[in-house]
Amino acid sequence: MVSIKGTREGLVILLDPNREFEDIKLYLKRKMESSRGFFRGARFTVCGQAITGYQRTELEDICRQYGLIPSRDISWPFEKKTTSPGEPARLVRGVLRSGQEIRHRGNVVIVGNIHPGAQVIADGSIIIMGYCGGTIHAGVAGNNAATITALKFKPVRLSIAGITAEPASIPEGNLFPLTARLERGRIIFDSYRGKAIPPVSLNHFPG
């Protein structure tokens, strides 16, 4: 019903597509319990073409309870990955000021600045073509692959899939756009050019 394969990148949890999802959940939990912490600290991915995104999140949450760390960087030869030209997103033009709120079940693109007191909540990723100074929540339905990208970061609060960024880890200024993403249970920031950069001071919030 559930088999666990080890690779150089981490563990691959393979699911039997012919079994009921509730049975798979129960079997996986029993398998984790019987391991007695053997897999604790290991990175893993779940492979199953017949499961939905929400079901994948449920299985990942079970594994988290036993100390495993979900990762999207683990490949498996029997799972073909497809690419598409892009994903649909809600486009919002203009400045979001205090008291304004955007909620969307998919990805969101903001063309403008987000001021403190404004809030953006999305099931998918969030791209801000401006300054991020409000409260930003991406991947709220448990999407660990969601990201947050902005030209400048100075948020009141920032979270991905329920995990909140440590205030000290948020760069206050940068030369290039930054992307926030989850890695090993915490939020890290990478430059748009793919290199992590140290934070620099930003003394004021632009209007």
Q: How does 84-117 read in b/e, with b if 16+ C-beta sit within 10 Å?
A: eeeeebbebeeebeeebebebeebbbbeebbbee
136 assigned to some structural domain: yes
DSSP 184: T
In tens, the pLDDT along 128-146 reads 999 999 999 999 888 899 9
- Residue 205 corresponds to which amino acid? F
Please tell me the number of Cα atoms within 13 Å of 137 on its side-chain side.
16
177 with 128, same domain: the answer is yes
User: 8 lies in which domain range?
Assistant: 2-70
Per-residue confidence (pLDDT) for residue 174, from 0 to 100: 66
Chain CA centroid to CA 92, Å: 21
Which of 2-16, 105-119, 181-195 holds the top average pLDDT? 105-119
Is residue 77 one of the residues assigned to a domain?
Answer: no
Q: 0.75 cut: is pTM over it?
A: no
Whether residue 163 sits in one domain with residue 97: yes
Residues 46 and 103 both lie in one domain: no
> What's the rounded Cα separation, in Å, for the pair 190 and 77?
28
Residues 12 and 94 in one domain: no
Tally of domains within the chain: 2
Structure tokens at 112: 């403008």
Considering only residues 35 and 76, tell me which one the structure prediction assigns the higher pLDDT.
Answer: 35
